[in-house]
Amino acid sequence: MSIFPLPVFEEDADPSNRDSLTLEEQLEALEAPTTMVVRFGAMFEVGEYKQAGEIRAGCGSKLVARTHRGTELVDLLTTTCSNAGCGKSISRSEMLEYIDNSGGKKFPFHTNGRVLRIATAEDLGRMSLLKGGVRDHKKLVKKLVEEHQLPMKIVDVEPILGEELFTIYYQSEDRVDFRSLVQALAKEFKTRIEMRQVGARDEARLVGDYEKCGQHCCCKSFLKVLSPVSMRAAKQQKQTLDPKKISGRCGRLMCCLRYEDQTYRELKKNLPHRKTRVGTAEGPGIVLDGKILTQLVLVALEHDNRQIAVPVEELSDPDTCPRPWEEIEKPVYEKREKTGKNKKSRRGRGKKGDSKQGDAKQEPTQSQEKVEGSGPKKKKRRRRRRRKKGGNDGPNTGGGGSGGSD
């Protein structure tokens, strides 16, 4: 059965008859980028290289580039030119700003290289074979180190696509004279040998995989400059001081303690120092402790020694702050004065009534009023005492009287 072309599909094949372009047509319409940012090597170094031809590749593509070490298989991170046509591309100024914030001159950034082509299936197969032989190469290097009796620990070995260079990463506390070892390795691998000494953090970058948080090690994924971390950062963030809990794969303090160190410093400046006198809504007090993240201050009040948590924004001057206990005692004091006045007025009313009833009686003098005022009080007290004594003695006498009647 023969196939006949339909006029509908023939019309769609013409771009002038369609509303949008296909992906292939859009890619051909784009201009090739002039500069590319790539990542290469076991230490994840970064380089910005110009390309040799019209290479149109997306972010994450495998490329073959000529770096300062030789011909390598690299990963395309982004493009730094305006005609890239990719939404993930950045400008060169943005890239340089990122480098300055990430370490400046210590950042492993290179520009002496060139992107040759997009990696083919043969390039990827060849690189997989080289990585498959890394374990055997590492055993051979360790054997040669033992034969030369050198105080060094082999961490990892790294071949490159062009096999112009064979890098050996080692760890040692002292300086090692490995000239004889390099000659033996050059005869064995028949290429240029580079011995590179690394520290504990770089060792974790090479061989580490996952951390306690469940994510990839920061030094392996994105950290390029490994700055030292002090115990002060752990104390400031109220972390446990157990070295097993705050140490990473490298045995040193975890790098994530340094991420929030600057934020903790800025927030700590807002908190008052301990044993400082401050004012609160409940009165003045002394600062006992402070929480950096929540911006709360623990204050011990002076008048009743209560401990309260106060936000930093509500602290005031201890001399001018409100004193609630003084406001509470004033109404009580006024009530007492009022009750005293009422008693005096009642006494006065009684005296006036007595004077009206007995016109023949003379008005008492002040001394007589004092005696009269004090006399009844004494009589009442005596009567109460006598009643108490009588109440205590009553049962005894009553018992005797009842016995006598019997």
Question: Which pLDDT tens digit goes with each residue over 191-240?
Answer: 999 999 998 888 888 887 788 888 888 888 888 888 888 888 888 887 78
> Could you tell me the end-to-end alpha-carbon distance of the chain, in angstroms, rounded to an integer?
148
**Residue 193: CB atoms within 10 Å:** 19
Structure confidence at residue 228 (pLDDT): 83
What pLDDT is recorded for position 221? 81
Asked if residues 46 and 224 have their Cβ atoms less than 8 Å apart, the reply is yes
Q: What is the pLDDT of residue 373?
A: 46
Domain spans of the chain? 13-119, 131-198, 226-265, 277-324
| Helix, strand or coil, per DSSP, at residue 18 | coil
**Distance (Å, rounded) from C-alpha 317 to C-alpha 328?**
21
Amino acid letter for position 167: T
Model pLDDT, residue 10: 63
CATH code linked to domain 131-198: 3.30.300.70
Q: Are 306 and 300 in contact (CB under 8 A)?
A: yes
Cβ atoms of 113 and 98 closer than 8 Å: no
CB 229 within 8 A of CB 51: no
pLDDT of residue 328: 55
Relative orientation angle of helices 179-189 and 134-148, to the nearest 10 degrees: 140
Q: What are phi and psi of 377, to 5 degrees?
A: -60, -45
Closest CA to 221 of 235, 236, 205: 205
Residue 140 has a pLDDT of 94
Contact between residue 314 and residue 281 where contact means Cβ atoms under 8 Å apart:
yes
CA–CA dist 65, 116 (Å, integer) = 5
pLDDT at 310: 94
Give pTM, 2 decimals. Answer: 0.64
Instruction: Mark residue 9 as left, alpha or beta (left: phi above 0; alpha: psi -120 to 50; beta: remaining).
Output: alpha
Bridge partners of residue 316, in order along the sequence: 279
pLDDT under 50: residue ranges of the chain: 330, 332-333, 335, 351-352, 355-379, 389-406
In this structure, the number of other CB atoms found within 10 A of the CB of residue 172 comes to: 13
